[in-house]
């Protein structure tokens, strides 16, 4: 008797579409959302004062400062700060305000690098600091009224590392620890080999768009069959699920987690058969094709496609088999932002893997261009005043929660009130 070929198991559509997430999280409401928070200068100032100057912000990963003396610089415009993040000679990761204490010049001018000597001299007058932020050398120090070394040290910034993710808090006295800030979302950072998949490449785009509009587009897949119909035809959506409804959603006050299906019946085009079939990082890592556990693929779906772990306020971590991305949206004003995407995956080892790697880069680049154009068109249209509301359906609950969480955080700091979901 001939054996039947394996047929991919598909998660059926839930019977309560349109109501399930509202029933689970009625606090979010179902009505339209005001466009004021993406067009108003006042909202931007509130976000600067009550979010980006007070929240724990993900500024990189430990593999970006892998060796003693390695450093990265993050310009956090919404907080008016330049931050130097480095690994000390003792192996500790620290962060400092990137400002020389002599005349206020930026100490480090480039985006990233390494100082094997552990010395960070100011290019203006030569004041030199070590990897602990201590001022260790001053030219002609005797000409000053009092000793400078050991006293005019770099201003420290609260720093924490969790599962390889580096966080800083620009509040001089943070109101909560990093562990308190992350809360239950931390469980979704423990079941995937984040630190075993190194940082590979980096896209960035300065856009005329509010940062939340960029975050919105990377928080739902309702748009995929329309905006990405030529770039990613049927990669996620399929005949019985054309709009890729979510498998699972968990909202944790400020943070959120979502779980989406893929399309196991996806038939790649001729060139894709080779490209997409040669590079499987999960196999090389020695794990299963689909990682499961309490944090990743929480639905344990046989047709799992990807997860999104959102870290408030501006970081989406997209988790897929063998690759993960971070999308970060950094506000520059009420209608300008910097969008950064960092991709983590294994280095290719064969010609086939190299081809797959390059093909995936171009495919992703084209999709990002489509998204970026939409961000700017949306901002321009909303600023026209033709509409004052955003209307959201139930499957856009990630988007709705994003606006709700920002408002709740502003209220918490500004007014001393809040209406958290509860844990």
Q: Number of folded domains in the chain? A: 2
Q: Is 98 exposed, middle or buried (0-12, 13-18, 19+ CB in 10 A)?
A: buried
Q: Which of 135, 151, 180 is the last residue of a domain?
A: 180
**118 and 25 belong to one structural domain:** no
Please tell me whether residues 363 and 277 are part of one structural domain: yes
Domain-embedded: residue 283: yes
Q: CA dihedral defined by 44, 49, 50, 56, rounded to 10 degrees?
A: 110
Identify the domain boundary among 139, 156, 180: 180
Query: Do residue 274 and residue 293 come from a single domain?
Result: yes
Whether 387 maps to a domain, the answer reads yes
Query: 43 in a domain, yes or no?
Result: no
199 and 149 in a common domain: no
**pLDDT category, 3, cuts 50, 70, 90?**
very low
What is the rounded average pLDDT of the residues 337-344?
A: 96
Contacts of 326 (CB under 8 A, 6+ apart): 58, 315, 316, 317, 318, 340, 341, 342, 344
pLDDT of residue 298: 85
Sheet holding 135-137: strands in order across?
120-121, 128-129, 135-137
Which residues contact residue 323 at a Cβ distance below 8 angstroms, ignoring those fewer than 6 apart?
197, 281, 343, 344, 345
Mean pLDDT for the chain?
Answer: 88
| CA torsion through residues 29, 30, 31, 37, sign | positive
Q: What's phi and psi for 258, nearest 5 deg?
A: -135, 155
**Do 377 and 344 share a structural domain?**
yes
- For 376, phi and psi rounded to 5 degrees? -70, -40
Which pLDDT does position 418 carry in this prediction?
A: 67
C-alpha 172, offset from chain centre? 24
Specify if 343 maps to a domain: yes
- The pLDDT of residue 166 is 98
CATH number, residue 81 = 2.102.10.10
Q: What's residue 170's pLDDT?
A: 98
pLDDT, tens digit (0-9, with 9 covering 90-100), for 266-307: 666 655 555 555 445 544 555 444 455 567 888 888 888 899
Whether cis (ω within 30° of 0) applies to the bond prior to 313 is yes
Q: State whether 319 and 381 are in the same domain.
A: yes
CB atoms within 10 A of CB 394: 17
If asked whether residues 252 and 376 sit together in one domain, one would say yes
Q: Do 145 and 284 reside in the same domain of the chain?
A: no
Q: For 146-161, what is the mean pLDDT? A: 96
Q: What is the pLDDT of residue 51?
A: 98
**Two tokens, residue 140:** 């002609």
Model confidence band, residue 238 (pLDDT cutoffs 50, 70, 90): confident
| CA atoms in the 13 A half-sphere facing the CB of 279 | 22
Domain limit, last residue, from 180, 210, 240: 180
CATH of the domain at 26: 3.90.380.10
The confidence band for 115, taking pLDDT boundaries of 50, 70 and 90, is: very high
Any domain includes 6: no
pLDDT value, residue 288: 46
Q: What is the pLDDT of residue 237?
A: 74
- Domain match, 245 and 355 both: yes
Are residues 115 and 206 both part of a single domain?
no
Rounded CA-CA distance 303/309 in Å is 19
Domain membership flag for residue 86: yes
Q: Which domain holds residue 73?
A: 56-180
| Sign for the pseudo-dihedral over CA of 47, 202, 341, 290 | negative
Q: How confident is the model at residue 5 (pLDDT cuts 50, 70, 90)?
A: very low
Name the pLDDT band for 214 (thresholds 50, 70, 90): very high
165 and 194 belong to one structural domain: no
Provide the pLDDT confidence category of residue 132 given band limits of 50, 70 and 90.
very high
Q: Which of the residue ranges 113-117, 325-329, 354-358, 392-396 would you say has the lowest mean pLDDT?
A: 354-358
| DSSP sequence for 310-350 | EETTTEEEEEETTEEEEEEEEEEETTEEEEEEEEE-PPP-S
The stretch 157-170 carries a mean pLDDT of 97
Any idea which of 44-48, 198-202, 211-215 has the lowest mean pLDDT? 198-202
Instruction: Average the pLDDT over each of 131-145, 191-205, 324-338, 350-364 and give the range with the smallest value.
Output: 350-364
Q: Are residues 149 and 210 located together in one domain of the fold? A: no
3-state secondary structure 208-255: CCCHHHHHHHCCCCCCHHHHCCCCCCCCCCECCECCCCCCEEEEECCE
Q: What local confidence, expressed as pLDDT, does residue 267 receive?
A: 64
All residues at 6 or more sequence positions from 13 whose CB lies less than 8 Å from its CB, including other chains: 240, 241, 245
């Amino acid at each position: 008797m001939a054996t039947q070929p394996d047929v991919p198991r598909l998660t059926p559509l839930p019977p309560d579409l349109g109501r399930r997430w509202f029933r689970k999280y009625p606090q979010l409401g179902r009505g339209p959302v005001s466009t004021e928070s993406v067009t108003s200068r006042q909202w931007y100032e509130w976000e600067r004062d009550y979010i980006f100057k007070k929240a724990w912000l993900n500024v990189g990963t430990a593999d970006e400062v892998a060796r003693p003396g390695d450093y990265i610089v993050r310009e956090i415009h919404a907080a008016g700060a330049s931050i130097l993040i480095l690994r000390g000679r003792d192996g500790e990761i620290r962060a400092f305000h990137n400002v020389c204490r002599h005349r206020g010049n930026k100490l480090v001018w480039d985006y990233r690098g390494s100082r094997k000597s552990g010395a960070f001299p100011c290019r203006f007058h030569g004041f030199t600091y070590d990897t602990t932020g201590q001022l260790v050398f001053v030219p002609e120090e005797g000409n000053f009224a009092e000793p400078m070394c050991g006293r005019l040290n770099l201003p420290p910034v609260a720093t924490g590392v969790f599962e390889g993710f580096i966080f800083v808090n620009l509040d001089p006295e943070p109101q909560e620890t990093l562990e308190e800030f992350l809360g239950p979302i931390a469980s979704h950072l423990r079941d995937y080999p984040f630190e075993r998949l190194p940082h590979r490449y980096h896209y960035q785009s300065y856009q005329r768009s509010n940062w939340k509009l960029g975050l919105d587009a990377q928080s739902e897949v309702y748009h995929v069959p329309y905006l990405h119909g030529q770039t990613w035809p049927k990669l996620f959506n399929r005949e019985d699920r054309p709009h890729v409804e979510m498998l699972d959603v968990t909202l944790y006050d400020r943070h959120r987690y979502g779980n989406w299906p893929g399309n196991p019946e996806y038939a790649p085009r001729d060139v894709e058969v080779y490209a997409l079939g040669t590079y499987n990082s999960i196999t090389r890592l020695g794990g299963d094709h689909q990682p499961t556990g309490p944090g990743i693929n929480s639905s344990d779906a046989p047709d799992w496609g990807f997860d999104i772990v959102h870290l408030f306020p501006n970081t989406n971590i997209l988790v897929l088999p063998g690759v993960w991305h971070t999308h970060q949206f950094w506000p520059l004003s009420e209608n300008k932002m910097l969008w950064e995407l960092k991709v983590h995956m294994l280095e290719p080892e064969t010609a086939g893997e190299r081809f797959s790697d390059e093909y995936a880069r171009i495919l992703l680049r084209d999709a990002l261009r489509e998204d970026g154009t939409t961000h700017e068109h949306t901002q321009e249209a909303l600023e026209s005043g033709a509409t004052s509301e955003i209307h959201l359906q139930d499957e856009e609950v990630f988007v709705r929660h994003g606006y709700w969480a920002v408002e709740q955080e502003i209220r918490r700091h500004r007014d001393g009130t809040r209406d958290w979901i509860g844990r």
